[in-house]
Amino acid sequence: MSTQRAFAAVILAAGKGTRMKSDLHKVLHPIAGRPMLDHLLDSFAALRPERTVVVAGDRFEQLEGALAGRGIEIARQEPQLGTAHAALMAKPLLATFDGHVLVCFGDCPMLKAATITRMIDALEAGAGVAVLGFRPDDTLAYGRIIADPDGTVRKMVEHKDASDDERAVNLCNSGVIVAHSRDIWRLLEAVGNDNAAGEYYLPDVATNAIGEGAKVIVVETGPGEVAGINSRGELAAAEAQWQAFKREEAMAGGASLRAPDTVFFSYDTEIGRDVTIEQNVVFGPSVKIADGARIRAFSHLEGATVGEGCEVGPFARLRPGAVMKAGAKVGNFVEIKQAVLGEGAKANHLSYLGDAEVGAGANIGAGTITCNYDGYFKYKTVIGERAFIGSNSALIAPLRIGADAIVAAGSAVSRDVDEGELRMVRAEQLVKPGWADRFHDAMKKKKAAEKKGRETQG
């Protein structure tokens, strides 16, 4: 489809979502760290819609806040009288729009631009209305589409109103519909509520079009693309579906996943070639992994950039602002936040680096922490190239440690360290020969006396 054809999207999100049992609007629940509504909007972005309208009702303020400043218009449905009534609420905002109008549900985040393209192509080939159908393994209570082999729709019927023969048909209605703006508002306004639920049903747009003699075409897709999310269980199923797709995409792009089902990606995770990801790794938003990196088991990354040939983990945590340049290594139980590790730098064990800059080739010993926060402000630690920080060191920011400097193990450093300098900050060792033996003897005698006293009293 040419992206120049005028296209507007109407997304229905006015329902209460009671089965989610949540204070959060249903369409704002995340999949792969991103609200399901945003997944849908991202798909539509590829078609460059001229207008996008979200129809809201329950929790209107939440949607208004989530969409603020994004060029998306919001129509309000009050009261909620059905899906056709909801779609009609967009008419005042699109009254002057001339082009194709898509109506879909905000809780179907897997809908793809390519599928909408096929529906619009059907309109341009002569159909008056295009509807999206699918064939699930279990037809449940879905509305049915009665169609000829060439896709011409003869009837649309809700499950509640369908006969036994109609319910035997396995072509189901997804609720997604496309029509031209010159037709859709008229067809919506003609929808009645003479049905079992007394609601204004969106599929009746197609029924009305057929009644006018217009051609209605069904375009088919797989059930996974149009699966609605109405409960926590369905949200989890959608997450699993999305993760399975992302894992396949990562492996097809040249990454090795040791135990794919245990790796969880975010919606925007970027993975290079020849990357190895071991089991039980979680990627939060905004993570980029360059070619040849290795992410070892039980690591969690969020807002991090990992350079070529780096190694992370096992049991490492990279937080927002963590940057590892080529060949850097972070080992077990190391946490990094707002810190840069230069090329070949290493922090292999039990360390925290926050608000820090670590030079190329530097070594951070086990148990090292950057003391970057005083309860009010955060301060930066700069560690020079090839510096060696001994184990169990506390680096009290703001602090600069020069290139090739050595900080002795167990030091608490609060003043800058010059290049090539050794800094040792320890209390002088105190030696008292025999003190421990005398202490143990005294404590044993005291304990024995207390035990004897209890026995005497008993």
Spatial distance between the Cα atoms of 399 and 201, rounded to a whole number of angstroms: 67
Annotated catalytic residues are 349
pLDDT at 160: 86
Q: What are the residue boundaries of the structural domains of the chain, listed by start?
A: 7-226, 232-423
pLDDT at 4: 53
Per-block mean pLDDT, blocks of 10 residues, the chain (458 long): 73 91 95 96 92 94 94 93 94 95 95 96 95 94 94 92 92 96 95 83 92 96 93 96 96 98 98 98 98 98 98 98 98 98 97 98 98 96 98 98 98 97 91 94 94 84
> Would the CA dihedral through 261, 319, 40, 150 be positive or negative?
negative
pLDDT at 269: 98
pLDDT at 1: 40
Architecture of the structural domain at 232-423: 3 Solenoid (2.160)
Spatial distance between the Cα atoms of 235 and 442, rounded to a whole number of angstroms: 65
The CATH classification number of 7-226 equals 3.90.550.10
pLDDT at 455: 84
